[in-house]
């Protein structure tokens, strides 16, 4: 591509104390192109965008805009020089109309010029029309659907006619038709000659839209090239999938013959106006091991939180013959549906044994003692760390403790949300062996949510694929490896 380089980053780094969030990242953003910045949670994508915009100061490296060094510039000066940013979360002025919100972005930012140009109203209306808001310019933000709030953020970002547009998570919370409309809008920025940097969890939508892809993991560049080249890159696939996909058919016929222990029908969840789940339906048989796989942001945690009574939802969730809407979150856990959260939520200053005791508070003393002995046998490292404060454990040990604490409640169904997140391969092997022993020695039903497909498949009787808030595929692990192995990303 021979277009001029608009924004250039050389050896960019960012440290937060001892944590290196971005490490020696270099990239170029050219006029008339869309560059997709991808990577799992914690990769450093949003941090790179904030460094470019001057929202966060960099710890090292340089940023140049049209050849000028803007590394230490404050964000308002970066914006004035021709860089616009579309934030993931809308921040409108709710007392003002859509048109007034856009006009505010057009006001002069100089004390010398206190009044707007006479044509500001005309320009604001033209921008509103450009992003598809012309029919709602006189409405207030609180009355708008979520997609129109995102359009308003787009309008504010391009109000100063920036030559570089940074777009953070534009597809989060949108329906598939809205994703298509926003993709057309972003293509329009490129067609106007703007340089666009696009960050989003929706890898397929990004790949279909961008000219190039820059993939990050743990703050570093791992691949760069066309979407097809990056999606097929072994390192990228290992980061997203966990490695080479292999599977065997472990269909639990006994569980399949029984009535479902868990039935989820047409469940939808909104966070404000953003749709996180769209009419999701699954079922889990008693004694089954079911894996729900999906990339970060697909809606796995939201689905589990709905089951656990932690977020409101529409639709129906039935567990062991009972409508879970009738129970509180605590009642659901005591009834036998227990979630081990992605964030673990351990009490750091309490010992391993004290954390486990908390999980078994509703059990009789004899049953609690019996359950504790069994779990210390299942996770031998916890017996060694029995009196140690949980915050001093390694990441893998903390994950085992979180699972053990959930099992202390003696659940009928155990939900595991991203248990492999951030764990080393050797710990994954230990965790996998523990799950196998759990299946052999316990009747507990397991529902696993994972991005790491190579961990999720070997244990599963059945697999669901959750993509962009919807279930898009269901089948056994062998079918997944055959039908979805190359198309999952």
pTM over cut 0.85? no
Backbone angles phi and psi of 363, in degrees to 5 = -85, 160
Q: Which residues contact 320 (CB under 8 A, 6 or more apart)?
A: 261, 262, 335, 336, 412
Backbone angles phi and psi of 120, in degrees to 5 = -60, -35
303: left (phi over 0), alpha (psi -120 to 50) or beta: alpha
The span from the first CA to the last CA of the chain, in angstroms, equals: 26
User: What is the tens place of the pLDDT at every residue in 142-151?
Assistant: 888 888 988 9
- Predicted local distance difference test score (pLDDT) of residue 119: 81
**How much is the average pLDDT of 370-379?**
88
- Predicted local distance difference test score (pLDDT) of residue 112: 47
CA-CA-CA-CA dihedral for 68, 74, 75, 80, to nearest 10 = -50
Other CB atoms closer than 10 Å to residue 253's CB: what's the count? 8
E strand or H helix that includes residue 183: helix 176-191
Bridge partners of 445, per DSSP, are 413
24: left (phi over 0), alpha (psi -120 to 50) or beta: left
- Predicted local distance difference test score (pLDDT) of residue 267: 96
Domain borders along the chain are: 5-241, 253-483
Which of 15-24's residues contact partners 24+ apart within 8 Å by CB, and which partners? 15/59, 20/219, 21/47, 21/219, 22/47, 22/48, 22/51, 22/58, 22/219, 23/219, 23/220, 24/60, 24/61, 24/220
User: What is the tens place of the pLDDT at every residue in 72-87?
Assistant: 999 989 998 999 998 8
Give the CATH number of domain 253-483: 3.40.50.300
CA pair distance 179, 202, nearest whole angstrom: 10
Q: Which of 443, 436, 441, 485 is closest to 463 using CA atoms?
A: 485
For domain 5-241, the CATH architecture is 3-Layer(aba) Sandwich (3.40)
User: What is the tens place of the pLDDT at every residue in 174-207?
Assistant: 777 888 889 999 999 999 999 999 988 777 788 8
The pLDDT of residue 264 is above 60:
yes
Helix, strand, coil percentages (3-state) for the chain, rounded to 5, are 40, 25, 35
Choose between 278 and 488: higher pLDDT.
278
The residue written with tokens 């006479």 in the block is 118
Tell me if 5-241 shares its fold with 253-483. yes
**How much is the average pLDDT of 123-145?**
90
Sheet holding 413-417, edge to edge: 337-340, 413-417, 445-450, 289-293, 462-467, 470-475
Query: What is the rounded average pLDDT for all residues in the chain?
Result: 87
């Amino acid at each position: 591509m021979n277009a001029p380089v608009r924004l250039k980053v050389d050896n960019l780094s960012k440290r937060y104390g001892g944590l290196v969030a971005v490490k020696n990242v270099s990239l170029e953003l050219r006029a008339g192109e869309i560059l997709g910045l991808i990577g799992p949670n914690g990769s450093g994508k949003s941090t790179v965008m904030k460094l470019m915009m001057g929202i966060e100061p960099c710890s090292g490296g340089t940023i140049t805009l049209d050849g000028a060094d803007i590394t230490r510039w404050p964000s308002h000066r970066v914006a004035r020089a021709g860089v616009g940013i579309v934030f993931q979360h809308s921040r409108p002025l709710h007392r003002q109309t859509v048109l007034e919100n856009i006009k505010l972005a057009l006001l002069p930012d100089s004390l010398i010029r206190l009044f707007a140009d006479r044509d500001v109203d005309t320009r604001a209306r033209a921008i509103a029309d450009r992003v598809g808001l012309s029919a709602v310019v006189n409405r207030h933000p609180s009355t708008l659907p979520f997609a129109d709030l995102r359009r308003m953020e787009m309008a504010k970002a391009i109000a100063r006619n920036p030559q570089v547009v940074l777009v953070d998570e534009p597809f989060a919370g949108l329906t598939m038709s809205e994703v298509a409309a926003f993709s057309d809008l972003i293509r329009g920025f490129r067609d106007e000659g703007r340089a666009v940097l696009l960050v989003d969890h929706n890898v397929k939508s990004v790949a279909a839209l961008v000219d190039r892809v820059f993939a990050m993991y743990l703050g570093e560049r791992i691949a760069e090239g066309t979407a097809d080249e990056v999606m097929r890159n072994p390192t990228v696939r290992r980061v997203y999938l966990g490695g080479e996909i292999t599977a065997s058919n472990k269909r639990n016929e006994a569980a399949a013959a029984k009535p479902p222990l868990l039935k989820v029908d047409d469940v939808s969840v909104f966070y404000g106006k953003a749709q996180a789940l769209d009419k999701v339906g699954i079922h889990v048989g008693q004694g089954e091991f079911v894996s729900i796989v999906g990339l970060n942001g697909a809606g796995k945690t939201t689905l589990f939180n709905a089951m656990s009574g932690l977020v409101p939802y529409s639709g129906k969730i039935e567990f062991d013959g009972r409508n879970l809407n009738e129970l509180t979150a605590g009642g659901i856990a005591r009834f036998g549906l227990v979630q081990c959260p992605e964030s673990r939520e351990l009490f750091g200053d309490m010992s391993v044994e004290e954390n486990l005791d908390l999980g078994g508070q509703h059990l009789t003393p004899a049953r609690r003692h019996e359950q504790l002995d069994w779990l210390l046998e299942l996770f031998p490292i916890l017996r060694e760390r029995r009196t140690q404060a949980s915050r001093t454990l390694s990441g893998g040990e903390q994950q085992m403790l979180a699972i053990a604490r959930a099992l202390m409640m003696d659940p009928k169904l155990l939900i595991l949300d991203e248990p492999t997140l951030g764990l080393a391969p050797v710990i994954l092997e230990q965790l996998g062996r523990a799950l196998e022993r759990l299946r052999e020695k316990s009747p507990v039903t397991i529902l696993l949510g994972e991005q790491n497909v190579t961990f999720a498949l070997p244990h599963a009787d059945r697999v669901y694929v959750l993509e962009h808030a919807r279930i898009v595929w269901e089948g056994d692990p062998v079918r997944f490896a055959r039908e979805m192995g190359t198309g999952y990303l």
